[in-house]
């Protein structure tokens, strides 16, 4: 996505149910807010909802860093303003996701997890302070020559365990996606345990 801002679009249910989507044009839907500009190349946003005070929720967006890869996780308030105290500079972050109530040293913490392509790792940050709790990064696709992590999605099972499914720029036709379980140890560092490899690569485009 070659843009430097994130568009925040609000669509009411009545609009969607009262008219066909085929008639909704760019002239009909307009963003209520446009975030401050990031430095290079905005790509993927995630929204963290502050359950104690929803007005203090955050928008977390990746800046891939353009040709240099000097990007970051940019954190915005709900007015679209960058919070420089929470923004983290990284080596070509690609996608980001959030999860709630991660079991971190016996406490429940919300987390943001992103891929960092130029270090072949995923990064884990506590929310809302955006403090790194991964010891500098968790390597992924270690057993493959094809790494370059790109896509990431988190999910929580019925026991409260949190998992990351990670995609990459290219990979084998079988076992293209890796699923990791996120784990915290007594020292306060998050690591990941590889559980399985699954999914087929189309050969046309990465996930």
Q: Are 113 and 126 in contact (CB under 8 A)?
A: no
Strands (E), the chain: 7-8, 33-34, 42-48, 58-63, 70-76, 88-91, 93-104, 107-116, 121-127, 131-132, 138-139, 149-156, 162-168, 174-184, 190-200
Separation CA 123–CA 53 (nearest Å): 26
182, 195 Cβ separation under 8 angstroms: no
In the block, residue with structure tokens 């270690």? 142
Is residue 147 a contact partner of residue 139, using CB atoms and an 8 Å limit?
Answer: no
The tokens describing 168, both together, are: 């990459």
- Global pTM value: 0.87
Q: In this structure, are residues 115 and 151 in contact, taking their beta carbons and an 8 Å threshold?
A: yes
**Per-residue confidence of the chain (207 residues) as pLDDT tens digits?**
556 777 665 433 344 444 455 555 666 788 888 999 999 999 999 999 999 999 999 999 999 999 999 999 999 999 999 999 999 999 999 999 999 999 998 899 999 999 999 999 999 999 999 999 999 999 999 999 999 999 999 999 999 999 999 999 889 999 999 999 999 988 889 999 999 999 998 888 887
């Amino acid at each position: 996505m070659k843009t430097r801002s994130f568009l925040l679009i609000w669509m009411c249910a009545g609009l969607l149910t009262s008219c066909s989507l085929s008639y909704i044009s760019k002239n009909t839907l307009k963003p209520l807010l446009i975030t401050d500009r990031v430095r290079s190349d905005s790509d993927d946003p995630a929204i963290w909802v502050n359950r104690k005070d929803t007005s203090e929720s955050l928008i977390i967006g990746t800046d891939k860093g353009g040709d240099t890869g000097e990007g970051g996780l940019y954190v915005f308030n709900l007015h679209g303003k960058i919070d420089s105290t929470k923004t983290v500079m990284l080596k070509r972050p690609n996608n980001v996701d959030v999860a709630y109530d991660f079991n971190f040293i016996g406490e429940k913490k919300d987390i943001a997890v992103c891929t960092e392509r130029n270090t072949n790792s995923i990064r884990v940050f506590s929310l809302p302070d955006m403090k790194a709790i991964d010891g500098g990064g968790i390597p992924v696709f270690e057993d493959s020559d094809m790494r370059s992590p790109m896509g990431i999605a988190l999910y929580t099972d019925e026991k409260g365990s949190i998992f990351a499914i990670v995609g990459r720029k290219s990979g084998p036709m079988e076992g293209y996606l890796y699923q990791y379980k996120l784990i915290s140890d007594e020292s306060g560092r998050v690591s990941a345990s590889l559980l399985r490899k699954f999914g087929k690569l189309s050969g046309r485009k990465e996930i």
